[in-house]
Each structure stands twice: as C-alpha cells, then as structure tokens.
Amino acid sequence: MREILGRRLQRLRDRFQSLRPDPARNSAPSTHLETALTCATTWQWPVLPGVGRSGADGAHCACPDPECVVPGAHPFDPGLLAATTDRRMVAWWWANRPAAPVLLATGGPAPCAVSLPAGAAARALVRLDAQGLRLGPVVATPTRWALLVAPYSLERLGELLYTKDHVPSSLRFHGEGGYLLLPPSAASTGGRVRWEREPDPREPAPWLPEVEAVVHALVEASSGASGGGSRLAY
C-alpha cells in the first residue's frame, strides 16, 4: 500500500511540475531585447523602443497619425530624449513590448551614421573595399543602408560638407537628435532590418570610422561614375 501511495504521490508531483512555468523558457530574452541590452550595456549605445505597428495585419503605425510616413519605426512614447543605457529600464521596456523596434539615439557619445539608397550603397561598398577603407557596421533596410561612423557634431559636419564642391542629395546624415533603426526590427517600408556588415564579436565595442573618411570616399565614388552620373543616385 505504501509503495502504491508513493507512486501516486510521485505522479502528482510530476504532473504539478509539468504545469509549472519553465523559468529558463520564460526568462529567455527576445531577440529584440538581446539586441537592446547588447547596445545599451555592452557598447554603451543609448536605445529606446520604437512605437511599433497596430491593426490585425500590422500595416498601420501605432502612433495617432493616420498618415505616418515611417510606420512603426520611430519614437513616440517614450520620446527620443528617453534613450538610455540603463539595463533595468531597457529590460522593462522590452519585457512589456517584446517585439518593439530597437532604436539607436544617434549623436552625442553614441555612433552617428551616413545613409544612402540600398542599390547605390551596395555598389559603393564594393568600391570602398577596393580602396582599402576600413568600414564599421552597416545597417541595411530594404530601401536604404546606413554606414555607422564615430560621433560627430553638427558643426563638424557642416565644415566637412562646406569643403566639398558637390555632395549627392541621396546622402542622409544621422547625428545629434536623430535615430537609427537597428536589426532585427521591422522596417517602415516592409521587411526586416539586418546587418549588411555585422559588428565584430571579437571587439568589446564596434569599431567606427571617422565621418570625414566615409563622406570623402562616398563623394569620390559618386564623382567617378561614368557619363557624369552619380553612383549614389536612387
């Protein structure tokens, strides 16, 4: 009788254990959270969650603007000034919204970026590699690629552009007061953001080139297009 009762109690214990939540499974961070924590705590890049999308099909931005031009891929609540490197705040944000886009607040001590149309960027990277220019991480959306560079001020950027006879209008600069969508977030134009050039895992923080070197190389790549055209055009 004791043996039968013991087996029955063991079955009840096993059943109870199977109904309990698995701590390892439930505590496993989402890919978005992993990215956000790596940026914030390992690399000291300030991040915040994007507004995300709403609706059954996820086609609409969750912000109040029905004609939002970058659906889901911008700050809203919290605003851009809330970007932080605090582990607890980052963990709380993505615990509540696991699929929220990961936004990097550019400028200040954080990386900046130079972006250009995807097709032009792919051609430019081939040329820059041939020139031996060392590039840092490159973030790719379906429509544009962004080359991450060391922090720069607006004054420094203005002086740099002033020295150029021509700067392709397709170039965009992400500096102080800007933000950049990071992988694996959903892009505003559809599809996912990805690393075209991933950060080197052997380095404690991603290496970043100076903005002067990147802009000079991109302007050269544009000016060297055959027929007087631009390699960086849409």
Task: Express each pLDDT in 92-107 by its tens digit.
Answer: 999 999 999 999 999 9
User: What's the pLDDT tens digit per position in 198-210?
Assistant: 998 888 999 999 9
Task: Say how many C-beta atoms besides its own lie within 10 A of residue 201's C-beta.
Answer: 6
Distance of CA 51 to the CA centre of its chain: 14
- Which tokens hold the place of 183? 């992988």
- The pLDDT, as a whole number, for residue 56 is 65
- The pLDDT, as a whole number, for residue 230 is 57
- The pLDDT, as a whole number, for residue 29 is 44
Half-sphere exposure in the Cβ direction for 183 (13 Å, CA): 15
- The pLDDT, as a whole number, for residue 75 is 94
Q: Is the peptide bond before 78 cis (omega within 30 degrees of 0)?
A: yes
Query: What is Dmax (Cα atoms) for the chain?
Result: 95
For residues 43-59, give the mean pLDDT.
86
CA distance 26 to 20: 11
- Which tokens hold the place of 77? 């609540």
User: Which amino acid would we find at residue 127?
Assistant: R
CA-CA distances (angstroms) from residue 155 to 152, 175, 210?
8, 11, 15
User: What's the pLDDT tens digit per position in 181-224?
Assistant: 999 998 888 889 999 999 988 889 999 999 999 998 888 877 65
Domain boundaries, the chain: 29-228
